[in-house]
Amino acid sequence: MDDLRIVVVTGASRGIGRAIAVELSAPGTHVIVNYNSKPEAAEKTVSLIAGRGGAASAMCFDVASADAVKEAFDKIVKAHGRIDVLVNNAGIAKDNLLALMKPAEWDVVMATNLRGAFLCSQAVIKPMMRRRYGRIVNVTSVVAATGNPGQCNYAAAKAGVIGLTKSLAREIVSRKITVNAVAPGYIETDMTAAIPAKAREALLGQIPAGRPGAPEEVAAAVAFLASDLAGYITGQVIHVNGGMFMS
């Protein structure tokens, strides 16, 4: 058991998840870097956190597996006695037009992006309630608000994350636990690097800021919502998209 602030970030081996894990690191904080593959990338995140004076450890588990999630969070609570912050960032995309989409493409996206957020949130509620403190931040997407051709599965899952955020926020705010979401727009990551040049140009044309965002800009919004300063903010969705969508 220790008095460190314990932070769990799912899908933290690269991209936005890595940026969030690094941003949340600091002396007095231990970040659990979740990954489901590519242990070398997860260890790179751990190394970056150590470079900022924080403590971190990598933990491999599939957020879509109820047994794996329970085992992982039981281990974290047993080792540290607490979980202060959960960031549900793990996500995948399997894009296809709905007319051509295989049921497996729908199911796997729902399993990781929505079921994973449900399972991990459920796993931290009791430890947070016992301490009467907690921060849950869910990473959704601009497409949850706008829709996007070829992403019915992804958009539906991310819209579900918003519904989960708002409902859970109402359930547990009396225990001083906040639940919020951050919705990134077009962010420069390995995933978006594969977008063809013509599609990239079209995307940039929809962004008043005229540029893609950086993972660190998303991480900054998450870090605020995870802080003590955000204790009176719950059930909200913060859009980080350069004006691509304005609610």
154 noted as active-site residue? yes
Provide the 8-state DSSP code for 185: -
- Round the CA-based radius of gyration of the chain to a whole number and report it: 17
Active-site annotation holder among 35, 133, 154, 232: 154
Find the helix or strand (DSSP H, E) in which 74 lies. Answer: helix 66-80
Alpha-helix residue ranges (DSSP H) falling in the chain: 15-23, 39-51, 66-80, 103-110, 116-131, 143-146, 152-172, 190-193, 197-205, 215-225
Locate 173 and state its tokens. Answer: 């705010």
Residues sharing a CB contact under 8 Å with residue 223, sequence separation 6 or more, in sequence order = 20, 23, 24
With the C-alpha atoms ordered 40, 31, 223, 238, is the resulting torsion angle positive or negative?
positive
- Residue at 232: amino acid letter: Y
8-state DSSP, 231: T
Whether 16 and 184 have beta carbons less than 8 Å apart is answered as yes
Contact 192, 186 (CB under 8 A): yes
Q: How far apart are CA 166 and CA 173, in angstroms?
A: 11
User: What length is written for the chain?
Assistant: 247
Active site residues: 154
